[in-house]
A and B are shown apart, each in its own frame.
Chain A
């Protein structure tokens, strides 16, 4: 009945069993938010563990926090904030065919900023290894609980990095597919979903930065 009014672009973006692209977009968006709630709970175990141990060993966490690199952490936070502002432009622009190229450029910039984050992270990890900040027999600090801080440092940043890698792949995939089929790009729910995922990666990092890099500064 509405079939006659479906544009080719909408047809390219429609998936079974949907008949209306607007409904499909709503559904994907709801599903994505439900997934993000699930992701938040995934990280909640780490946050809860960190909070518990910090309440037990406040002094050790304070000393250990001072060993992290605020330069790397701060720069990466800024990079990720900029990238999420950039990616936030994508769903605002992608709906207009005339702005498709702009939206895809933003996707690439967002992905490159993500890669920059990972590169900095790699240098940071190398420095940490040199300073014996990996929990184990050679561990640099001796206060009880300092090892726990760095257990959470490694787990939080590594699991976040895995999410970031997934996010970069999603951004790049969307940019490539969008360039191949610009009509699909204006209608597909994948634009909104990808942007939402990237937002979550930034939200998680915001909390990680505060609890990992900021304790123990200024004596």
Chain B
């Protein structure tokens, strides 16, 4: 399939990638730090988030080293608390939440809808600065000695007792949160007002739908977290007893407000990943996405119902049994649209002409790991099992399967899929396939033992543990080494490809989206001539395209199927 596009004729070979398209717009620091080009801002985000990803990774590496032996011998208990807290705060708010929207969303949304930029380019740059200011607070916390509340900031520990840098950490999250709100507003307005002629709502690629729905979740959920943190800071700083039982307050109220954001935040992380996978799978299966309409409805349903389930984080908190019942039921309900999506991705593969390029391998990894994470989520939605598994490694494994196995796999799928669009170069395929497979195995190697030890009763957030759990912890730490290697490899070969990678054409995958109709890397104003759209998305076998053999029979069968609907 990719043979036809091996040769790139659009460039003389002595022109560097960095002089072409938007990348050639200026090489000074100033030209980057004051840019309002959504593509450059996406790069700024990508670099920032990569730095934070590795800081958060170092923190958890130290935790995994501590856990190799049952005794608390590598770091003190207090340092241990600070390490896993830092890992959580950085990975959630400075990597996972902004990861796909702020980088690929920023880069691709205008390209995919045929626009010149986002609706508010200066607001876009401002939101990056907010993320950086929040990040600066986090780095301050790191250098000043850390914070030990866990990423959840639960009161009254955070508001009264903790002797660490709680306020600076909360400000970091608060500021970065407004950065994501600004991005969300930008995406919403862009999707509403800047679509190319003919690009109706039901012709939008699912990645655009994912960006749109996730933006709505962001603007409605994030402010509640901001207020929860504000009240926690007010209590810590001014002594108003809002969450303090001594003044009649209820610490559980903080958990309600916190999870009103932080459960939807899981969907903020996973919806963009679903969008990525919905682009990648049809492309490498050469098939129209199965059940497009239902994929859209499922995204909308997840983003709305995702707000109804936060109480399942609080089954053992003292929440009323009636509330437990309601939240448990609603948590089962939210699994339905997720299952529809997994079913539709699988059905898209049926009778497709599947090829196994690296983005596809990562996408497969996503589907497998997300399914595991989702199904164990059903265990935890059921109250009797959750009471047993609360605060154990079972929960840790569950949410890492969803957030890391899911979102990070999709992040790497997107990185490889659109790398040629972003840089104009191809990544080295063999290395990339190897990294994708290694990441899948490394991930399972790290986190599957955590399911087992969690089920057996190993609690989270402890630096020392009974010796019978050691085998699982050693396995998990060894897996983490493999996983770390799999994360570092792309850093190496992608950097290599910037200079020595094969030049990609404008559309090396033969993919259908509007982003592939412009050059790679795209010009500053995205399109020389703004496109118009006359077809549904994922038009992988358009009319007049003659297939032979097995492929022809596939088309015939799918057309018959279409008529029967």
Q: Are A and B a genuine interacting pair, yes or no?
A: yes
Chain A residues close to B by CB (< 8 Å) = 15-17, 23, 26-28, 30-31, 34-35, 37-39, 41-46, 48-49, 52-53, 56-57, 60, 135-136, 144-145, 147-148, 150-152, 154-155, 159
B226 contacts chain A at the CB level, 8 A cutoff? yes
A91 to chain B, nearest CB (A): 19
A40 to chain B, nearest CB (A): 8
Q: Name B121's closest neighbour in chain A (CB-CB).
A: A16
By a CB distance below 8 angstroms, the chain A residues around B193 are 23, 26-27, 30
A50 to chain B, nearest CB (A): 10
Contact B242 A49 (CB under 8 A): yes
Contact A148 B226 (CB under 8 A): no
B349 contacts chain A at the CB level, 8 A cutoff? no
By a CB distance below 8 angstroms, the chain A residues around B249 are 53, 148, 151
Give a binary string over B218-262; 1 marks a CB under 8 Å from any A CB, 0 the rest. 011111101110110010001111100001111001001100100
Q: Which of B111-119, B137-145, B370-378, B500-508 contacts A (4 or more CB under 8 A)?
A: B111-119
B189 contacts chain A at the CB level, 8 A cutoff? yes
Chain B residues close to A by CB (< 8 Å) = 36, 115-122, 181, 184-186, 188-189, 192-194, 219-224, 226-228, 230-231, 234, 238-242, 247-250, 253, 256-257, 260, 525
By a CB distance below 8 angstroms, the chain A residues around B219 are 34-35, 37-38, 41
Q: How far is the CA of A52 from the CA of B319 in the complex (A)?
A: 13
Contact B115 A17 (CB under 8 A): yes
By a CB distance below 8 angstroms, the chain B residues around A44 are 223-224, 227
With A144-B248, A151-B241 as known contacts, state yes or no: A34 contacts B228, CB within 8 Å. Answer: no
Q: How far is the CA of A55 from the CA of B188 in the complex (A)?
A: 37
With A31-B188, A151-B241 as known contacts, state yes or no: A39 contacts B248, CB within 8 Å. Answer: no
A-B contact pairs, 19 of them (CB 8 A): A16-B117, A17-B525, A27-B120, A27-B192, A30-B193, A31-B119, A31-B189, A37-B220, A41-B220, A45-B223, A45-B227, A45-B228, A60-B248, A135-B239, A136-B239, A148-B248, A151-B241, A151-B247, A154-B240
Q: How far is the CA of A53 from the CA of B226 in the complex (A)?
A: 20
Complex partner residue of A27 from B119, B181, B224, B239, CB under 8 angstroms: B119
Contact A151 B240 (CB under 8 A): yes
Complex partner residue of A46 from B192, B194, B227, CB under 8 angstroms: B227
Contact B117 A52 (CB under 8 A): no
B518 to chain A, nearest CB (A): 15
By a CB distance below 8 angstroms, the chain B residues around A135 are 239-241, 247
By a CB distance below 8 angstroms, the chain A residues around B194 are 17, 27
By a CB distance below 8 angstroms, the chain A residues around B223 are 38-39, 41-42, 44-45
By a CB distance below 8 angstroms, the chain A residues around B188 are 30-31, 34
Q: How far is the CA of A57 from the CA of B219 in the complex (A)?
A: 32
Q: Name A147's closest neighbour in chain B (CB-CB).
A: B247
A42 to chain B, nearest CB (A): 4
Contact B36 A38 (CB under 8 A): no
A65 to chain B, nearest CB (A): 16
Contact A49 B231 (CB under 8 A): yes
Q: How far is the CA of A53 from the CA of B228 in the complex (A)?
A: 15
Q: How far is the CA of A165 from the CA of B440 in the complex (A)?
A: 52
Query: Beyond A17-B525, A45-B223, A45-B257: 4 further Cβ-contacts under 8 Å?
Result: A49-B253, A53-B249, A135-B247, A148-B241
Q: How far is the CA of A152 from the CA of B231 in the complex (A)?
A: 10
Q: Name A144's closest neighbour in chain B (CB-CB).
A: B248
Q: How far is the CA of A38 from the CA of B217 in the complex (A)?
A: 10
Q: How far is the CA of A39 from the CA of B492 in the complex (A)?
A: 43
Q: How far is the CA of A53 from the CA of B251 in the complex (A)?
A: 12
Contact B248 A147 (CB under 8 A): yes
With A45-B228, A147-B241 as known contacts, state yes or no: A52 contacts B185, CB within 8 Å. Answer: no
Contact A38 B227 (CB under 8 A): no
A38 to chain B, nearest CB (A): 4
By a CB distance below 8 angstroms, the chain A residues around B250 are 52-53, 56
Contact A155 B189 (CB under 8 A): no
With A17-B115, A17-B116 as known contacts, state yes or no: A42 contacts B226, CB within 8 Å. Answer: yes
By a CB distance below 8 angstroms, the chain A residues around B192 are 27, 30
The 3 tightest CB contacts between A and B, nearest first, are A45-B227, A42-B223, A151-B240
Contact A45 B224 (CB under 8 A): yes
Contact A151 B242 (CB under 8 A): yes
Q: How far is the CA of A39 from the CA of B220 in the complex (A)?
A: 9
B552 to chain A, nearest CB (A): 44
Complex partner residue of B234 from A43, A148, A155, CB under 8 angstroms: A155
Contact A42 B248 (CB under 8 A): no
By a CB distance below 8 angstroms, the chain A residues around B224 are 41-42, 44-45
A173 to chain B, nearest CB (A): 15
By a CB distance below 8 angstroms, the chain B residues around A23 are 193
Contact A31 B247 (CB under 8 A): no
Contact B227 A148 (CB under 8 A): no
Q: How far is the CA of A39 from the CA of B219 in the complex (A)?
A: 9
Q: Name A49's closest neighbour in chain B (CB-CB).
A: B253
Complex partner residue of A148 from B120, B186, B239, B247, CB under 8 angstroms: B247
By a CB distance below 8 angstroms, the chain A residues around B242 are 49, 148, 151-152, 155
